A and B are shown apart, each in its own frame.
Chain A
Amino acid sequence: MERETGTMTRIAKPTIDVAAVRRDFPILAREVHGKPLVYLDNAATSQKPRAVIDAVSGYYESANANVHRGVHTLSVLATEMYEGAREKTRALVNAAETAEIVFTRGTTEAINLVASSFGQARVRPGDEVVISAMEHHSNIVPWQLLCQRAGAKLRVVPMEKSGDLRLDEYRKLLNERTRIVAVAHVCNSLGTVNPIAEMIAIAHERDIPVLVDGAQAVPHFRADVRALGADFYAFSGHKMFGPTGAGVLYARRALLETLPPYQGGGDMIASVTFEKTTYNVLPHRFEAGTPDIAAAIGLGAAIDYMDALGSDAIEAYEGELVAYAVDALSSIPGVTLVGTPKHRVGVVSFTIEGVHPHDAGMILDHEGIAIRAGHHCTQPVMDFYGVPATNRASFAFYNTRDEVDRLVGAIAKVREVFKS
């Protein structure tokens, strides 16, 4: 787990030795269609460093057992590793205690948990739930389902053409019937960083709790749930260099304690008879059944890896890289950026005149370049801009300017094929 991390020591001026970092990610050495892979689909899922891959296989090779179950050595070891990952996750988001960190399958399940449990406890006919115009489907559909069940109304904060939310409209939407606000920290199709601390403060003026979808934030910068004031903060391990299967719901204890269980099963109970069940303490009450132990341990290793790089260094490096990509792409004739938010991380969406993104995505793939072509699970955002789909390049700290140049060169080939 510890090997090959010697290159990542912090130095005075935060920076990243990208060549060394790239050697930590085995997949980055492969070719696609005979060309070196340029992986620019990080907003869909990130690649995994050797340390994460080793943590997962190491767990299976030397510690595999069920957690919270037995007195035998392996079960104790597995439990320590699993709970150790929870402590690392707590520290990552600066939660007050591990009881506030619930492991889920991913962001989607974390949001569904809140929509279901919070909805059951607090949302009644005529109540309102506020989301934004730039949410991922996973932060729309669970709330739609809740509103249908409860007879509540879904209200949507509109956005500007730039891809920035309209805070004036947001203020107006909040009222005495608003039960919860659910909003993305970073928009997955536009890269907009929303003013979350301000939005939370506005909601808290009316004692309205806020769920933040942090899936596209945590891979790029440090999110401090207490500094932000977030009541719920959801994110996925697999977008931040960890394995698929481990997601996180941070929930403020005072709120989490009031919520009914989400799923029933083993591990979430204290005692069961056919007459009555008493539930386990937090956070286990919300983790029914055997969790994805290996994925949680892998997530812990990913957090260690990012810590070793340093969030300042990651932010500084990616900030320059994304600015370079925005400049390079917007200076190609016929290429139009979709969304020009005031504050952007990680993502650049664009269209190529006369070329549908699926055709572009395929030609780019043949150049070894992986981007996302489609609606990015944000169909309302596509409708807002009047496009069926976009090309989306999304970045991580292992991407380089050379890769941006490869993308620019390949877009020229797309235009050559299409004579556009």
Chain B
Amino acid sequence: MSDMRELYQEMILDHHKHPRNFGRLTGANRHAEGFNPLCGDRVTVYALVDGDSIRDLSFEGSGCAICMASASVMTDELAGKSVDDAEQLFVKFHDLVTGESAKEPDLDVLGKLAVFMGVREFPVRVKCATLPWHALRAALKDGEKAPVSTE
């Protein structure tokens, strides 16, 4: 069970039970839906973007604890950051959960996002953690296009 606790950290369980920034964002000017047809996880990310700055973020949807907590922590961490910062954090987060990068994860930069490090031990769950990020990137890039899929 210890490896389960590695994955399901307290913070993840907390964000799953009490998701932050949940619901449609008033005044959002970007949104995109992420959908994983394999498991049915579905997340819509809303963003209020002002020039290069992400003023505010929210999400809604349904899915497993990893997916919901990832969306919750992501929206908490990225609100107020620039679009470029978000993109860089996406790359670092992706490396963190896949374990693909040879480099040690940059925990200082990742901050609270580092809580998802346990995911790298469970390759089938990587898509759960990254789905909200793919939706966010689609929202920032195209705004109103078709849903993104992790399959």
Report A's interface with B, CB cutoff 8 A: 354-359, 362-363, 366, 373-375, 379, 382, 388-389, 413, 416-419
A418 touches B8 (CB 8 A): yes
Instruction: Kindly state the separation between the CA atoms of A355 and B62 in the bound complex, as whole angstroms.
Output: 12
Chain B residues numbered 2-49 whose CB sits less than 8 Å from any CB in chain A: 3-5, 8, 13, 17, 38-42
B40 touches A389 (CB 8 A): yes
Please, what's the 1-or-0 string for B104-135, where 1 marks a CB less than 8 Å from any CB in chain A? 00000000000000000010110010000000
Known A358-B128, A419-B13; 19 more pairs at CB < 8 Å: A357-B64, A358-B39, A358-B64, A359-B8, A359-B64, A362-B124, A363-B4, A366-B1, A366-B4, A374-B38, A374-B39, A379-B40, A388-B40, A388-B62, A416-B1, A417-B1, A417-B4, A417-B8, A418-B65
A389 touches B39 (CB 8 A): yes
Chain A residues with Cβ below 8 Å from B63 are 356, 358, 388
Residue of A nearest to B39 (CB): A358
Instruction: Kindly state the separation between the CA atoms of A419 and B5 in the bound complex, as whole angstroms.
Output: 12
B40 touches A375 (CB 8 A): yes
Instruction: Kindly state the separation between the CA atoms of A93 and B5 in the bound complex, as whole angstroms.
Output: 50
Report B's interface with A, CB cutoff 8 A: 1, 3-5, 8, 13, 17, 38-42, 62-66, 68, 122, 124-125, 128
A362 touches B3 (CB 8 A): no
10 closest cross-chain pairs (CB), A and B: A356-B64, A358-B64, A388-B40, A359-B65, A359-B64, A388-B62, A417-B8, A417-B4, A358-B39, A389-B40
Chain A residues with Cβ below 8 Å from B8 are 359, 417-418
Q: How far is the CB of B40 from chain A (nearest CB, A)?
A: 5
Chain A residues with Cβ below 8 Å from B40 are 374-375, 379, 382, 388-389
Instruction: Kindly state the separation between the CA atoms of A355 and B8 in the bound complex, as whole angstroms.
Output: 12
Residue of A nearest to B10 (CB): A419
Chain B residues with Cβ below 8 Å from A366 are 1, 3-4
B1 touches A413 (CB 8 A): yes
Q: List 29 A-B contacts (CB under 8 A).
A: A356-B63, A356-B64, A356-B68, A358-B39, A358-B63, A358-B64, A358-B128, A359-B8, A359-B64, A359-B65, A362-B4, A362-B122, A362-B124, A366-B1, A366-B3, A366-B4, A373-B39, A375-B40, A379-B40, A388-B40, A388-B42, A388-B62, A416-B1, A417-B4, A417-B5, A417-B13, A418-B8, A418-B13, A419-B13
Residue of B nearest to A356 (CB): B64
Residue of B nearest to A420 (CB): B17
Chain A residues with Cβ below 8 Å from B41 are 358
Chain B residues with Cβ below 8 Å from A359 are 8, 64-66
Instruction: Kindly state the separation between the CA atoms of A388 and B64 in the bound complex, as whole angstroms.
Output: 10
Chain B residues with Cβ below 8 Å from A388 are 40, 42, 62-63
Instruction: Kindly state the separation between the CA atoms of A388 and B128 in the bound complex, as whole angstroms.
Output: 15
Chain A residues with Cβ below 8 Å from B68 are 356
Chain B residues with Cβ below 8 Å from A418 are 8, 13, 65
Instruction: Kindly state the separation between the CA atoms of A189 and B145 in the bound complex, as whole angstroms.
Output: 34
Q: How far is the CB of B44 from chain A (nearest CB, A)?
A: 14
Chain B residues with Cβ below 8 Å from A362 are 4, 122, 124-125
Most buried by A among B8, B38, B64: B64
Q: How far is the CB of B90 from chain A (nearest CB, A)?
A: 23
Q: How far is the CB of A26 from chain B (nearest CB, A)?
A: 25
Chain A residues with Cβ below 8 Å from B65 are 355-356, 359, 418
Chain A residues with Cβ below 8 Å from B128 are 358
Chain A residues with Cβ below 8 Å from B64 are 356-359
Instruction: Kindly state the separation between the CA atoms of A357 and B128 in the bound complex, as whole angstroms.
Output: 13
Chain B residues with Cβ below 8 Å from A413 are 1
Chain A residues with Cβ below 8 Å from B4 are 362-363, 366, 417
Chain B residues with Cβ below 8 Å from A354 are 17
Chain B residues with Cβ below 8 Å from A358 are 39, 41, 63-64, 128
Chain B residues with Cβ below 8 Å from A375 are 40
Instruction: Kindly state the separation between the CA atoms of A354 and B3 in the bound complex, as whole angstroms.
Output: 20
Q: How far is the CB of A416 from chain B (nearest CB, A)?
A: 8
Instruction: Kindly state the separation between the CA atoms of A413 and B4 in the bound complex, as whole angstroms.
Output: 10
Most buried by B among A354, A362, A373: A362
Residue of A nearest to B122 (CB): A362
Instruction: Kindly state the separation between the CA atoms of A363 and B42 in the bound complex, as whole angstroms.
Output: 21
Instruction: Kindly state the separation between the CA atoms of A295 and B17 in the bound complex, as whole angstroms.
Output: 48
Chain B residues with Cβ below 8 Å from A417 are 1, 4-5, 8, 13
Residue of B nearest to A33 (CB): B3
Instruction: Kindly state the separation between the CA atoms of A382 and B65 in the bound complex, as whole angstroms.
Output: 19
Chain A residues with Cβ below 8 Å from B124 are 362
Q: How far is the CB of B37 from chain A (nearest CB, A)?
A: 10
Chain A residues with Cβ below 8 Å from B1 are 366, 413, 416-417
Chain A residues with Cβ below 8 Å from B125 are 362
Q: How far is the CB of A74 from chain B (nearest CB, A)?
A: 42
Instruction: Kindly state the separation between the CA atoms of A357 and B1 in the bound complex, as whole angstroms.
Output: 18
Q: How far is the CB of B96 from chain A (nearest CB, A)?
A: 19
Chain A residues with Cβ below 8 Å from B38 are 374
Residue of B nearest to A414 (CB): B4
